Amino acid sequence: MTARPHHFPADKSSLAHAPTMVISNIWPALEGGRYAVKRIAGTPVTVWADLFRDGHGKLRAVVKWRKRGVSAWEESPMVHVGNDRWRGEFTVVELGEWEYTVEGWQDDFQTWRHEFERKAAALKPGESLQTESIEGAIILEESARLAEQGGHQAEAEVLRRASRAIYDAAPQDVAHTVDDSGLQALAARWTNRSLSTTAVPIYRVLVERERAGFSAWYEFFPRGAEGRADRHSTLRNCLERIRYAKGMGFNVIYFPPVHPIGTSHRKGKDNSLTCTADDVGSPWAIGSGEGGHYSIHPQLGTVADFEWLVREAKELGMEIAMDFAINCSPDHPYVQDHPDWFFQRPDGTIKYAENPPKKYQDIYPLNFHCKDWRNLWQEMVRIILFWADKGVKIFRVDNPHTKPVAFWEYLMSEVRLQHPDVIFLAEAFTRPRMMEMLAKIGFSQSYTYFTWRTHRQEIMEYVNELAHSDLREYFRGNFWPNTPDILAHPLVNGSPAVFMIRAALAATTMPNWGIYSGFEFCENDQHPDREEYRNNEKYELKERDWKRPGIRDFLTKLNHIRNTHGEFRHLSNLHFVHVDHDRLLAFVKASPHRQADLLVIINLDPAHLAEGTVNLPQESVPEPRDVPYRVRDLLTDDVYNWHGTANWVSLDPHSKPVHIFRIESSDQD
Amino acid sequence: MTARPHHFPADKSSLAHAPTMVISNIWPALEGGRYAVKRIAGTPVTVWADLFRDGHGKLRAVVKWRKRGVSAWEESPMVHVGNDRWRGEFTVVELGEWEYTVEGWQDDFQTWRHEFERKAAALKPGESLQTESIEGAIILEESARLAEQGGHQAEAEVLRRASRAIYDAAPQDVAHTVDDSGLQALAARWTNRSLSTTAVPIYRVLVERERAGFSAWYEFFPRGAEGRADRHSTLRNCLERIRYAKGMGFNVIYFPPVHPIGTSHRKGKDNSLTCTADDVGSPWAIGSGEGGHYSIHPQLGTVADFEWLVREAKELGMEIAMDFAINCSPDHPYVQDHPDWFFQRPDGTIKYAENPPKKYQDIYPLNFHCKDWRNLWQEMVRIILFWADKGVKIFRVDNPHTKPVAFWEYLMSEVRLQHPDVIFLAEAFTRPRMMEMLAKIGFSQSYTYFTWRTHRQEIMEYVNELAHSDLREYFRGNFWPNTPDILAHPLVNGSPAVFMIRAALAATTMPNWGIYSGFEFCENDQHPDREEYRNNEKYELKERDWKRPGIRDFLTKLNHIRNTHGEFRHLSNLHFVHVDHDRLLAFVKASPHRQADLLVIINLDPAHLAEGTVNLPQESVPEPRDVPYRVRDLLTDDVYNWHGTANWVSLDPHSKPVHIFRIESSDQD
């Protein structure tokens, strides 16, 4: 019976002093600090804590932060906001993982001063405060000693003089001496913190660059860059297409895998099991005699071509996101070099992927729990580092939920130690807890259920969850109306209105969004059995006339508005507002200090006019009741005169399915 | 730049295998497991966790528990309740601190079986499942090996036979062989868990005896046991008073401190600074030439007398709660033996307690952060153990919020290692965060704000917080309508109705409640300046005629109903119901399986009749609409015929301020 409770000074020998403060309920904290919250460099981290101790002492607290494993603690003061709750803030600009915690202590000088003043006020004739004065003098003398130790002689001298002044003074003179804000600041600076308490555990924040939190993605197959069914395009052909996407205001180009494509069991057109000599194969069946994840598919070019393209894109202000798909074709070099990394049958042959009755004989999954798992995991890190060294700083990770969560936590941490600017997007269309966990362990962005959310209530609930629940601390949704795998059902109708509506929903509710090419042309050729494209580009070269207008102008305006209005760079400033029509979705994006909020109104019905009264919150209305103000549609530059909180809107999907209003006071231009 | 993230297999050398499962959001857990939740011995601990992994494997999970530092893990299976959330349960009867955690793994046999069956169903002519059969055979062979290792030869043999049967069988025969629930249970029992994952940290639960969760306290001053102003009663005189309290249905007797009372600066009657030779002094000014916290005040008797009384009380089924007040009079032995344990002035004299302008010259506070703090803290533990060894198993702790929280955590842990049946009540009338924290670190029960809650809404909010927020996991309120320090303002009016109302509120809403003697006689002699008693018993002997009826019958009935209806032993079965009169408070105490819920209705207005319609929840109504049922008032045995959910009640405070109904179906007697 010698067990002792946790956390206690029980092995008292190890504690220089008894714990004094209680520090608890630190926020933000994910599962007690087990996981890091996320912030964009330069945006503040506000930290809350409950902090108190026994007695009536005056307390002080600081929030402390440091680069993980590198720098010494910095600190800034916390303020008491009431009911023993304290708040502090810090801002970091350097990318990487930072740690923070909270430290508190009793301010001996202020505690003494407060008590002294109360005693002095109640002093009766014949009573003395000599002893109390000496106590104050001793506290200041101690501060002077600490200032001296810290190399601040001048400050030490001020403190020492005050100490001496207090020593012999009459009570009313003591009060006068210590009622000096300069002295109080010095006493606070050089207070004795040897009895302070620091919260354990240490909390963490992953600081990423702005693109992690604000991005517009455009996906295309490099081999289709020229839009020809009769010719395989190369990486050199892609630059024009990147310029084209930049023209529409996108800033991330995402390529499906560019590695050699396997030939064994290669899939034919439309996912056919039979394959002709002409069939180009799925880029997700990686590895051939020409190499694996370190190589470029020969029909696309060379690693040098790829490096050239990454550089050229960068010149344009564009970034290329690489697909990290841990899928090996039977021809992948690993199959020869590391057969033990794969799942093996009892007869020693390697297992292909299966989801009975489906068989994927063109894919060998890796066994992340094989005996040699350490080397396998490290090899995956090496792949990412190889491309990061070549300038790729965004990875779209294919199906991360089919590999161990612990593996991704390891991989991303290792990569970020060398390249803290690398961004990871999780393509996990799976169950909510897995999606949340992948974000918790470090994915910068995540694909979402948006693709299937169409009704007002479900969109509002989902966006509210991302914007205002604990998810906002770590889960950044990236909204895609379509992907090569998903021709979402609303798009099947094919009208420009529905594509504009889906694009506007994604681009205005979320700071991160993206489309797969063809979306701008309202492509809607549906597979007969599934929510997919017929003759999927994954398995063939597609004819595509890139010069058609489609809804390119609309997308260009949408991205332009996003890029020129900082309100769209954040999510937590989004607040849905009431409209009395169930197909009209409306929300405010609050501007800093609410001086000119944005108001987005979207008609979710691509076929019918929707009209109704939209109710602004009072704080978004720039003028007193009865004074008109203007709302300017940033898409059309149309201006409307509004009054008060309730105003009429009318959205005809055939001409104008979306308003993006700037709310202007009447004297604004 | 060699820092590595937390929790990761980074020091991979230490991990036998890569982490496989994700286990998160374990509940109950206070601040990530930092603090223990509380349970009464024999009541279940239900544990929830999110638990999943990559892939489509069939998972299993167990909740595991063990006596802290003593026993090996026990375990029971968890079930998947949906959305990756699992639930398990365990019950412990042995008192003390227990640990629990969650372990999960992939069930290889069920994973194989599920996949095999899907493949068999899709099998085409000419295809074989030979390889798949062998995989299943190998899994069962491994289970057989584990069963053998575990010493279960017979089970090993069953598994081995099944393994052999599968090895050569045709697919349809394999399916038949494995479709045997006995075999599946064996395969589950002897599954290979070497790749399992166990959640860290380990969570904790403090298991206490029933009195910690269900108690009725009666406080009296032993020196007033005979109710004579002219004679100091002794411990020997107290037995009659204990019998008297038992007669009213109380089960805990709480004595203010029984230790020698100091004479230096002893307070006179009514807290006067001047004291005559007759004045008995405050029992909270502890310590004199006759001893300190280990001694009994000579006018009360001896330690032997005290032990006799504890034994006699126990014979009656009563327990004596001792007051643990860390207040030293200037005459306390510590002042001589350990002057360094006190706060000292610069001149070396010891500081008395002050809260300027108030001075408490009869009290020297201890300095829990003095240099010799380790010995001081241990000495406090020794005091508790001294009395616990003499049979005292309940301590009412005076003002715990004025001593370090870490000190209490230490003290209670140390005491419980030797006496896990000791119960601590925190007398901390202070700020909410401090009160919560004292409960978190181990106080069994806590005084509350109930004493000042009088309006319906504030009572409902407070009780709901205790019953249904996270507080229910660790904070057990003990509701006191009065204490020697507090003559709460509603009681000042002095009518029996208000005393009955306050008693009924405390006794029916909370499993733990108590009164300070005199309450049963509706004593209401108010101090002119404060919410206190005039001529407080803390400073003098009081005349009290214990034979008066007062509201003793009512209190007796109240405690009898509590003691004979298990519904009052728990709090989370309390649900407020709507009444359309704002002075009527009504709530259901749900019975097991809701077969005969209790319904309590209290008129909060001691002066006026209140009438209104009370709305029962449907699940409390025992009969279909239009079929009458009965409600029986357990206080009066009156029976009323009710219909449906809405029924009329009328409470006249002068005759009947409270209903405690049992809701009976019409065929019940």
**3-state secondary structure labels for all residues of B478-527:** EECCEECCEECHHHHHCCHHHHHHHHHHHHHHCCEEEEECCHHHCCCCEC
B202 vs A209, residue with greater confidence: A209
A413: nearest CA partner in chain B: B5
Confidence check: pLDDT of A666 > 80:
no
Look at residues A584, A644, A649 and name the one whose alpha carbon lies nearest to residue A617: A644
Confidence check: pLDDT of A7 > 50:
no
Cβ contacts of A349 on chain B, cutoff 8 Å: 131
**Over the stretch B295-338, which tens digit does the pLDDT of each residue have?**
999 999 999 999 999 999 999 999 999 999 999 999 999 999 99
3-state helix vs strand vs coil in chain A, percent to 5 = 35, 25, 40
Residue type, B28: P
Report the pLDDT value the prediction gives residue A10, as an integer from 0 to 100: 40
Distance CA A368, CA A23 (A): 40
Q: At A436, phi and psi to the nearest 5?
A: -65, -40
**Chain B nearest C-alpha distance from A105 (Å):** 13
DSSP run (H or E) holding A104? strand A96-106
Structure tokens at B432: 């909410």
What radius of gyration, in Å, describes the C-alpha atoms of chain B?
31
Distance CA A405, CA B21 (A): 8
Confidence check: pLDDT of A12 > 90:
no
- Partner residue facing B402 (CB), from A54, A404, A407: A54
CA B415 from chain centre, in angstroms, equals 17
Confidence check: pLDDT of A13 > 60:
no
- % residues pLDDT > 70 (chain A): 97
A11 touching B (Cβ < 8 Å): no
Mean pLDDT of A559-587: 97
Report the pLDDT value the prediction gives residue A358, as an integer from 0 to 100: 86
For chain A positions 289-348, those within 8 Å of chain B (CB to CB) are 345-347
**Chain B nearest C-alpha distance from A414 (Å):** 8
CA B637 from chain centre, in angstroms, equals 32
**Over the stretch B73-110, which tens digit does the pLDDT of each residue have?**
999 999 999 999 999 999 999 999 999 999 999 999 99
Query: Who's near B669: CB < 8 A, 6+ residues apart?
Result: none
Whether residues A22 and B368 touch (CB distance < 8 A) is answered with no
Residue with tokens 């991302």: A466
Mean pLDDT of B458-476: 98
- Partner residue facing A413 (CB), from B4, B84, B402: B4
- % residues pLDDT > 90 (chain B): 87
CA B667 from chain centre, in angstroms, equals 37
What radius of gyration, in Å, describes the C-alpha atoms of chain A?
31
Look at residues B408, B406, B407 and name the one whose alpha carbon lies nearest to residue B395: B408
**Over the stretch A197-227, which tens digit does the pLDDT of each residue have?**
999 889 999 999 999 999 999 999 999 999 9
Around Cβ A521, how many Cβ atoms within 10 Å?
17
Cβ contacts of B18 on chain A, cutoff 8 Å: 368-369, 373, 377, 404, 406-407
A350 touching B (Cβ < 8 Å): no
Whether residues B54 and A403 touch (CB distance < 8 A) is answered with yes
Distance CA A661, CA A638 (A): 9
User: Would the pTM count as exceeding 0.90?
Assistant: yes
B49: nearest CA partner in chain A: A433
B404 touching A (Cβ < 8 Å): yes
- Partner residue facing B406 (CB), from A9, A32, A413: A9
Whether residues A122 and B55 touch (CB distance < 8 A) is answered with no
For chain A positions 232-291, those within 8 Å of chain B (CB to CB) are none
B9: nearest CA partner in chain A: A410
Strand segments (E) across B361-468 = 394-398, 423-427, 445-447
B427 is a catalytic site residue? yes
A205: nearest CA partner in chain B: B5
Cβ contacts of B417 on chain A, cutoff 8 Å: 1, 3-4
pLDDT band (50, 70, 90) for residue B11: very low
Report the pLDDT value the prediction gives residue B200, as an integer from 0 to 100: 85
B360 touching A (Cβ < 8 Å): no
DSSP run (H or E) holding A183? helix A181-189
Look at residues A11, A469, A444, A23 and name the one whose alpha carbon lies nearest to residue A202: A23
Report the pLDDT value the prediction gives residue B16, as an integer from 0 to 100: 60
Whether residues A83 and B2 touch (CB distance < 8 A) is answered with no
Indicate which residue of A103, A107, A398, A532 is catalytic.
A398
- Partner residue facing A410 (CB), from B9, B56, B402: B9
Matching fold, domains A1-107+196-208 and A216-258+296-324+373-568: no
A71 touching B (Cβ < 8 Å): no
Whether residues B409 and A5 touch (CB distance < 8 A) is answered with yes
Sign of the Cα torsion A171, A176, A177, A179 reads: positive
Indicate which residue of B427, B520, B537, B540 is catalytic.
B427
Kindly report the CATH class assigned to A1-107+196-208.
mainly beta
Mean pLDDT of A81-85: 96
CATH topology of domain B216-258+296-324+373-568: TIM Barrel (3.20.20)
Contact between residue B257 and residue B280 where contact means Cβ atoms under 8 Å apart:
no
Q: Where are the domains of chain A?
A: 1-107+196-208, 125-190, 216-258+296-324+373-568, 265-293+327-365, 574-664
Residue with tokens 């405060």: A129
Look at residues A540, A521, A520, A445 and name the one whose alpha carbon lies nearest to residue A208: A445
For chain A positions 191-210, those within 8 Å of chain B (CB to CB) are 195, 204
Euclidean distance between the first and final Cα of chain A, in Å? 78
A82 touching B (Cβ < 8 Å): no
Distance CA B124, CA B400 (A): 76
The DSSP string of B235-254 is GGGHHHHHHHHHHTT--EEE
B375 touching A (Cβ < 8 Å): no
pLDDT band (50, 70, 90) for residue A3: very low
B11 touching A (Cβ < 8 Å): no
Whether residues A19 and B345 touch (CB distance < 8 A) is answered with no
* Interstrand relation of B203-208 and B37-40 (parallel, antiparallel or unpaired): parallel
**Chain B nearest C-alpha distance from A3 (Å):** 5
Residue with tokens 């310590």: B287
DSSP state of A295: S
Whether residues B356 and A6 touch (CB distance < 8 A) is answered with no
* Cα dihedral A20/A24/A29/A33 (nearest 10): 50
A625 touching B (Cβ < 8 Å): no
Distance CA A580, CA A588 (A): 16
Report the pLDDT value the prediction gives residue B356, as an integer from 0 to 100: 84
Whether residues A432 and B83 touch (CB distance < 8 A) is answered with yes
Mean pLDDT of A79-96: 97
A135 touching B (Cβ < 8 Å): yes
Q: Is the ipTM of this complex over 0.95?
A: no
Mean pLDDT of A574-579: 98
Mean pLDDT of A563-590: 97
- Partner residue facing A433 (CB), from B34, B52, B368: B52
Confidence check: pLDDT of A4 > 80:
no
Distance CA A567, CA A547 (A): 32
Confidence check: pLDDT of B19 > 80:
no
Contact between residue B418 and residue A34 where contact means Cβ atoms under 8 Å apart:
no
pLDDT band (50, 70, 90) for residue A667: low
Whether residues B374 and A25 touch (CB distance < 8 A) is answered with no
Whether residues A134 and B413 touch (CB distance < 8 A) is answered with no
**Over the stretch A156-207, which tens digit does the pLDDT of each residue have?**
999 999 999 998 788 878 888 888 999 999 999 999 998 899 998 899 999 9
B355 vs B377, residue with greater confidence: B377
A417: nearest CA partner in chain B: B1
Distance CA A186, CA A159 (A): 7
DSSP state of A271: G
Confidence check: pLDDT of B14 > 60:
no
- Partner residue facing B50 (CB), from A407, A409, A433: A433
- Partner residue facing A369 (CB), from B2, B10, B195: B195
**Over the stretch A401-414, which tens digit does the pLDDT of each residue have?**
999 999 999 999 99
A594 vs A668, residue with greater confidence: A594
B14 touching A (Cβ < 8 Å): no
Helices (H), B338-372: none
**Chain B nearest C-alpha distance from A78 (Å):** 18
Whether residues A20 and B404 touch (CB distance < 8 A) is answered with yes
Residue B56 Cα distances to A354, A367, B111, angstroms = 11, 14, 8
Average pLDDT, chain B: 94
Distance CA B503, CA B513 (A): 9
Indicate which residue of B398, B532, B540, B664 is catalytic.
B398
Confidence check: pLDDT of A254 > 80:
yes
The second-level CATH assignment, the architecture, of A574-664 is Sandwich (2.60)
Confidence check: pLDDT of B5 > 60:
no
Structure tokens at B322: 């001792």
A398 is a catalytic site residue? yes
A124 touching B (Cβ < 8 Å): no
DSSP state of B210: G
Structure tokens at B541: 């002997």
Residue B221 Cα distances to B68, B216, B257, B322, B523, angstroms = 39, 17, 9, 12, 15
